[in-house]
Amino acid sequence: YKENLFVKISKDLGLFYDNREYLTVDAIFYKEYKKAEYANPVPIPIVWIESENDRDDIAWSELYKLCCLNAPLKVIFTLFPEWNNDLLKEYTSKDGKIGDCHYVIDPFINVSRLIGYIGFIIAVRKDNQFIFYSFVYDENGNIKDDGQLVIIE
């Protein structure tokens, strides 16, 4: 069925088809939905979490993956050697470069839809402490908030 049936169905729908397995996710926070007639509780994702150490791969791998998922919040947690307003502008610009987040977010908004907020938490190690920064996209691809979260020594 993967080599014949799904190929035909996707072609008939005018869609592309790929049978690779997708979307292995690092972590999830969820609620359990229970009903007496259900044999087991159903885990309902509330927060999907991805971590990424390669800052150049954030948009293509982790952000794309999170855009595919349904939950009120999706978070990318990453470690940078530094964080400043220039880097924030680089990642949140709308100039169509592969490194910026809109290169992934805009197609989801224009072709399908973006479900939930997508937050970025950037950890920066400075001396003997971590400083955490963040920015958040809403379902329309707008930055809702950015700034310094907390310092942990």
Whole-number pLDDT of residue 84: 77
**Eight-class DSSP state of 41:** P
Q: Which residues contact 88 (CB under 8 A, 6 or more apart)?
A: 133, 135, 146
* Total-model pTM: 0.78
R_g of the chain, CA atoms, integer Å: 18
What are the DSSP E strand ranges found in the chain? 27-33, 42-52, 73-80, 117-126, 129-137, 143-152
Whole-number pLDDT of residue 53: 75
Neighbouring C-alpha atoms within 13 Å toward the C-beta of 13: 9
Count helices and strands (H / E) in the chain: 4, 6
Q: What percent of the chain has pLDDT over 90?
A: 28
Paired residues of 90 in beta bridges: none
Overall size of the chain counted in residues: 153
Average pLDDT over residues 3-27: 84
Whole-number pLDDT of residue 29: 93
The Cα–Cα gap between 122 and 136 comes to 12
Average pLDDT over residues 95-116: 80
Confidence band (pLDDT; 50, 70, 90) for 147? low
CB-based burial, 86-113: b 16+ in 10 Å, e otherwise: eebeebbeeeeeeebbbbbbeebeeeee
Start-to-end CA distance of the chain, whole Å, equals 55
